[in-house]
Amino acid sequence: MTRETWATRLGFILAAVGSAVGLGNIWRFPWMTAENGGSAFLIVYLGIVLLVGVPGLLGEFVIGRRAKRNPAGALKALSGSRAWELVGGASVLTAVVLLSFYSVVGGWILRYFLASPTGAYFGAPGPYYDAIAFGTPESVAFGLLFLLATGGIVLAGVRRGIELGTKVMMPAILLLLVVLAGWAAFQPNAGEGYAFYLGADWGSLQANFLDILPAAAGQALFTLSIGAGTMITYASYLGEDRSLPFDGAAIAGLNTVVGVLAGLVVFPLLFSFAPEAAGTSGPGALFVGIAGAFANLPSLAGLPMGRLVATVFFGVVTLAALSSSISMLEIPVAFLVDEFGVSRRRATVGLLALVSGTMAANALSPAVFGFIAGTLVDLLLTAGLLAFLLFVGWVLGRDAAAEFAKGASEFTQSLATPWLLAVGVALPLFLWFTLLTGIFGALGVGGAVETWMTVVIAAGLSGGAFLALRRPVSVL
Ligand code: PHE
pLDDT by residue for the chain (476 residues), tens digit each? 689 999 999 999 999 999 999 998 888 876 677 667 667 777 888 889 999 999 999 999 999 999 999 999 999 999 999 999 999 999 999 999 999 999 999 999 999 999 999 999 888 888 888 888 899 999 999 999 999 999 999 999 999 999 999 999 899 888 988 998 998 898 888 888 888 777 766 777 777 777 788 888 888 999 999 999 999 999 999 987 789 999 999 999 999 888 888 888 888 888 888 777 666 666 777 788 888 888 888 888 888 888 998 998 899 899 999 999 999 999 999 999 999 999 999 999 999 999 999 999 999 999 999 999 988 998 999 999 999 999 999 999 999 999 999 999 999 999 999 999 999 999 999 999 999 988 998 888 877 778 889 999 999 999 999 999 999 999 99
What's the pLDDT score for residue 34? 65
Given the CA of residue 320, which atom of ligand 1 is nearest to it? 12
CA distances 284 to 24, 32, 221, 324, Å, are 14, 12, 22, 20
* Candidate from 169, 223, 381 with most ligand 1 atoms within 8 A of CB, to mutate: 223
What's the pLDDT score for residue 292? 81
Find out whether 267 and 189 touch, Cβ atoms under 8 Å: no
For helices 190-198 and 244-273, the axis angle rounded to 10 degrees is 130
Residue minimizing CA distance to atom 8 of ligand 1: 225
- For residue 423, give the nearest of 462, 454, 458, 468 by alpha carbon: 462
- For residue 259, give the nearest of 311, 324, 208 by alpha carbon: 324
- For residue 18, give the nearest of 170, 156, 161 by alpha carbon: 170
pTM for the structure as a whole: 0.93
- For residue 284, give the nearest of 47, 92, 112 by alpha carbon: 112
- Beta-carbon neighbour count of residue 175 at 10 Å? 11
What's the pLDDT score for residue 16? 95
Residue 474 to residue 420: CA distance in whole angstroms: 10
What DSSP assignment string belongs to 157-199? -IIIIIIHHHHHHHHHHHHHHHHHHHHHTTSTTHHHHHHHHH-
What's the pLDDT score for residue 1? 62
- For residue 430, give the nearest of 440, 422, 442 by alpha carbon: 422
Residue 332 to residue 372: CA distance in whole angstroms: 19
* Candidate from 29, 173, 324 with most ligand 1 atoms within 8 A of CB, to mutate: 324
For helices 125-133 and 285-295, the axis angle rounded to 10 degrees is 140
What's the pLDDT score for residue 46? 85
Find out whether 268 and 190 touch, Cβ atoms under 8 Å: yes
Q: Which residues contact 352 (CB under 8 A, 6 or more apart)?
A: 147, 148, 151, 329
What's the pLDDT score for residue 374? 84
Residue minimizing CA distance to atom 6 of ligand 1: 225
CA of 20 to the centre of ligand 1 (A): 5
What DSSP assignment string belongs to 393-457? IIIITHHHHHHHHTT--HHHHTTHHHHHHIIIIIHHHHHHHHHHHHHHHHHT-GGGS-HHHHHHH
Residue 243 to residue 461: CA distance in whole angstroms: 33
- Beta-carbon neighbour count of residue 357 at 10 Å? 9
- Beta-carbon neighbour count of residue 264 at 10 Å? 22
CA of 172 to the centre of ligand 1 (A): 19
* Candidate from 230, 255, 316 with most ligand 1 atoms within 8 A of CB, to mutate: 230
CA of 99 to the centre of ligand 1 (A): 9
Residue 219 to residue 29: CA distance in whole angstroms: 7
Find out whether 226 and 377 touch, Cβ atoms under 8 Å: no
What's the pLDDT score for residue 302? 82
18 by DSSP, 3-state: which? helix
